[in-house]
Structure 1
Amino acid sequence: MSAPRTTAPAPQIPHGRAKARIIVSSLVGTTIEFYDFYAYATAAISVFPLLFFHASSRTGALLASLATFGVAFIARPIGSILFGHFGDRVGRKVTLVASLLTMGIATVIIGLLPTYAQIGLWAPAMLAIMRFSQGLGLGGEWSGASLLAGENSRPGKRGFDAMWPQLGAPIGFFLANGFFLLLTRVMNYDSANTESSQAFLVWGWRLPFLFSAVIVALGLYVRFKLEETRSFARIQRSGKVAKAPLLEACKTSWVQMIQGTFVMVATYTLFYLMTTWILSYAISPVEEGYLGISYHKFLVIQLITILAFALMTPVSGWLGDRWGRRRLLIRVTVGMILFGLTFGLFLDAERMGTAEHANLALMTVFMFIGMALMGLTFGIQSALLPELFPTNVRYTGSAVAYNVASIIGAAVAPFIATWLASRYGPGTVGLYLVVMSAMTLIALLTIPETRVLDIDELETSHSPAPAKVPALN
């Protein structure tokens, strides 16, 4: 049974202040979500192994901490189903508010949790629950923000207009890691000196999580002022709202969900290798097989090179409109395969050096290349994945594809990479990226070009028409 028809006038393409509000809302919302997510990722490497996990070695505690990091990726597909259902049934606006609150509240609670020394095993258990809640919220956030921007886009400019939520990733990363860098410098925290009485480990690490309350309030203020997207308003008027979006998507768009999942796999793998795993490999002790670079120095490298990610994200949106999504991503994915083959050359301890003798310039070049590739592959995804699905299941379909990919490409990436590097060296981590990129390349070869599709015409569940695919030249 479809929702009843309405007689509300058709919304127009937003201009001026309305367009600016959409851009700010999609950007601020994902910035907040990714800030929360990356604050946890940073702490999972530098703080949680020391305060929440009891193990006989630093590597053991690190692996346990990374396991809770992966819990969020299990929650994300569940969040995509939950928020996707309401996003396709009730609307994009109200669902975006709910996803933001879910993740924001969980993040603030993490900043208030007692440690292992205070309550024992309850500490990592509560941390895992809050991490699960973070993943639940993020599972619904990305697709909603992407649809907010993409379903209100200008003709022929959807790749660039839908790009704004993607900028939230590098901005959120910069804010979260910048906050940690500032705190560790002010509190004179050194990752090589992990005395539990150190002020940063006692209370300083909590501040980035508690600060999330402030920026969540900002995000809510912006989102309450939004109007519903044109595409969703159109299917409300036509009475074609899906009663059970997940079942409808599985029935009519299951091929697109599989394709979208594997299109995103390499992107996820690259990003979490270049943020979470590389941080652990770079700052952990030399005597345990790592590089032993100062935590402060490496965070500076990450903050500098994340600018390549931010700069290449709008370039990706622009090229996606100019060349086509498929053509752009095939080229970038081949570049990722080639980059994966260089990990051993860049990161071998004898070539890179360790501790005070580490070649920071070489590390910066490595990080810059990886982050630039990340921006190029990530920027256009917020246009491409929703374009694979009709309006009445677009939130659910794109969210499920995006977040199932997070399990395959991201949840296990830091864990697998840490294990591979400790056993066989960093070159094998690059080979891992090669394998995941090859999977994405195969998926890209199976999808149509979606650049010229009018997504407002896709009001019922059917695949994008191959007849509209332009020549890739």
Structure 2
Amino acid sequence: MRQHPSPPPVPSPGTPPADPDGPAASDGPAGPSMLRLALASLAGTAIEFYDFFAYGTAAALVLGPLFFPSFSPLAGTLAAFGTFGVGFLARPLGSVVFGHIGDRYGRRPVLLASLLLTGLATVAVGCVPSYASIGIAAPLLLLLLRFLQGLGLGGEWGGAVLLTAEHAPEGRRGLWSSFPQMGPATGFLLANGLMLALSGLLSDARFGAWGWRVPFWGAGLLALAGLWLRRSVEETPQFRALTETGRRAEAPLTEVLRGHWRLLLLTGGAMSVGYAVFYAVTTWSLAYTTGPLHMDRTLMLAVVMAAVLLKGLVTAPLAALGDRWGRRPLCLAGSAACALWMFPFVALLSSGDALLVAVGCVGALLAMVLMYAVAGAYLPELYAPRIRCTGAAVGYNLGGVLGGALTPVVATALAAGSGPPWGVAVYLTAVALVSLGCFALLPETRPAALPVRDGAGADTGAGAAEAAPA
């Protein structure tokens, strides 16, 4: 293997630079300022995931009959989840596009553009006529708008976590970077809370005719609120330092693929369990329990919302533990817990008993959040500042393709037979074991142990990963 000279180590976000190649964040703004930054990052990710989950819930409940009426109920649900998966496929492309913007022109433009794109696409989803009105154009429009949603969301996460990670003080980076990680739970609760209220207030006929569209229309107001919150956000200290020293990457994706492709694959594989388990609970379980098991739709929405609320409440405390114990131990524990819980999860779900279903869903999300809570700090710390927006965002969203895009479709297909869907448990356990293996190959990123080199070098992430303890 060709040997490369080893440049001086690059600090992780928030540490003093050893040389001009490794720009640092400041010691972090004062408490109230840091809180405002964290809330701005949370608001954006919550709104964008609200948009995403509104579609996922609608796909589980009503989109099949409305947009794929010639299909059987099972095939219609599969087709609706297929359009849901298109959004995941678009997310890596969005992370490439917005990651380039973030590494070349700043983290702040990413925060505004991604939110605007996703908000507009979501409002448009609520305006698409059904198949009965415009025929095949209806599902095609859904596909296009889902693609645009995914494109915007692919850029959102990288900008939001870098906003907090690169502003946060060293010893509390995990805690502050957990605010964007609470966005999915917050967005899910907003979207499904509205869906729950509408499904309880409206008859099935009215909910199917127009009630499901209301959350999509509401996304426009939420997007405007998010843009207002982010209007005064300042550029991060690390990107300002990159600009001042002339160290911005000319082609960040090229640098990532040439020098850090192993790290990219490892981060993508590592994050896949978070997506797989979360969407198994929040999307597939709704379709399975309200379909083959004939459980009440309103009851199941309430059960899943309670599980997601609990996940959101423990995210920040777990991230704070990551500041004390390191990111990697929590990631390993979370992946292992997911692997151990998937068979009990499917067994409890198949019981058809609301209390047992709730236990299964809560257990799955608590296992998953062990690794997800620290990801907002962990992934940015794995990449050098000049390629951080691209590397962290592409790796994160690659996990979305591997874990999130396939899970609702695969799980629905595997659950098509009679009896408990053990094939779903096998699939989810396999994803968890893949993630466990990837986390085992990744290094700890606490500053004293961070072996990541400067983004100009050829071996940044991959070399670090190879050196990590198994």
TM-score (norm 2): 0.90
AA paired with 1:147? L
Relative to structure 1, the CA distance from residue 470 to residue 345 in structure 2 (aligned partners, 3 Å threshold; closer, same or farther) is closer
Question: Offset at 1:12?
Answer: 5.7
2:262 aligned with 1:247: no
Cα–Cα, structure 1 residues 56 and 102, in superposed 2: closer, same or farther, change >3 Å? closer
Q: Following the alignment from structure 1 to structure 2, what is the Cα–Cα distance between the partners of residues 319 and 300?
A: 29
Summarize deviations over 1:279-325 as a string: whole Å, max 9, x none.
100101xxxxx111010111111111112211221132112112211
**Residues 60, 286 of structure 2: 8 Å contact kept:** yes
**Change beyond 3 A, Cα 1:453–1:226:** farther
Residue 16 of structure 1 and its aligned partner are, at CA, apart by 3.8
Task: Tell me if 1:423 matches 2:417.
Answer: yes
Is the Cα–Cα contact under 8 Å of residues 273 and 368 in structure 2 kept in the other structure? Answer: no
Which structure 2 residues correspond to residues 348-387 of structure 1 after superposition, within 5 A?
A: 348=350, 352=351, 358-387=352-381
Change (3 A) 1:217 1:418: same
Farther-moved stretch of structure 1 (39-48 vs 308-317): 308-317
Label 1:153 to 1:53 Cα distance change in 2 as closer, same or farther (>3 A).
Answer: same
RMSD: 2.3
Alignment of 1:215-230 (within 5 A): 215-230=222-237
Q: Is the 8 A contact 2:27 2:169 kept in 1?
A: no
Q: How far apart in 1 are the matches of 2:345 and 2:124?
A: 38
Separation in 2, partners of 1:146, 1:454: 21
Query: Secondary structure at the residue paired with 1:449?
Result: coil
Give 1:62 deviation, angstroms.
0.6
How many residue pairs were aligned?
444
Deviation readout 1:245-304 (Å, 9 max, x if unpaired): 1111112221211111111011111111111111100101xxxxx111010111111111
TM-aligned CA deviation for residue 345 of structure 1: 2.9
Q: Secondary structure at the match of 2:339?
A: helix
| Structure-1 residue corresponding to 2:338 | 336
Query: In the alignment, which residue of structure 2 is the partner of 1:91?
Result: 106
Q: Retained in 1: the 8 A contact 2:303–2:358? A: yes
Report if aligned partners of 1:389, 1:461 keep a CA contact under 8 Å in 2.
no
Q: Identify the residue that residue 299 of structure 2 maps to in structure 1.
A: 297
154-163 or 14-23, which moves further after superposition? 14-23
1:195 corresponds in structure 2 to none
Among candidates 420, 429, 435, match of residue 434 of structure 1? 429
The answer to whether structure 1 residue 275 and structure 2 residue 282 are counterparts is yes
Contact 2:345 2:361 in 1 (8 A): no
From the superposition, tell whether residues 454 and 392 of structure 1 become closer, same or farther in structure 2 (CA, over 3 Å).
farther
- Partner residue of 2:66? 51
- Is the 8 Å Cα contact of residues 333 and 370 (structure 2) preserved in structure 1? no
Q: Percent same amino acid at aligned positions? A: 39
Residue 180 of structure 2 is aligned to residue 165 of structure 1: yes
Give distance in 1, aligned partners of 2:386 and 2:45: 23
The partner residue of 1:403 within 387, 397, 405 is 397
Q: Decide whether the 8 Å contact of 1:249 with 1:461 is kept in 2.
A: no
- 2:285 is matched by which residue type in structure 1? I
**2:14 matched to which residue of 1?**
none
Q: In 1, Cα distance between the equivalents of 2:315 and 2:31? A: 23
Structure 1 unaligned segments of length 5 or more: list them: 190-197, 285-289, 353-357
Q: Where do 1:104-253 residues align within 5 Å? A: 104-189=119-204, 198-253=205-260
Q: In the aligned structure 2, how far is the partner of 1:103 from the partner of 1:451?
A: 34
Deviations 1:133-169 (A, max 9, x none): 0000000001110100111111121111111100111
CA distance in 1, matches of 2:330, 2:201: 43
Write the distance in 1 (CA, Å) between the matches of 2:208 and 2:380: 42
Contact persistence 1:162–1:383 (CA under 8 A): yes
CA distance in 1, matches of 2:314, 2:335: 15
Please give the secondary structure, in 1, of the residue aligned with 2:294. coil
Describe the SS at the equivalent of 2:417.
helix
Deviations 1:355-396 (A, max 9, x none): xxx411111111111121232221111111111110110000
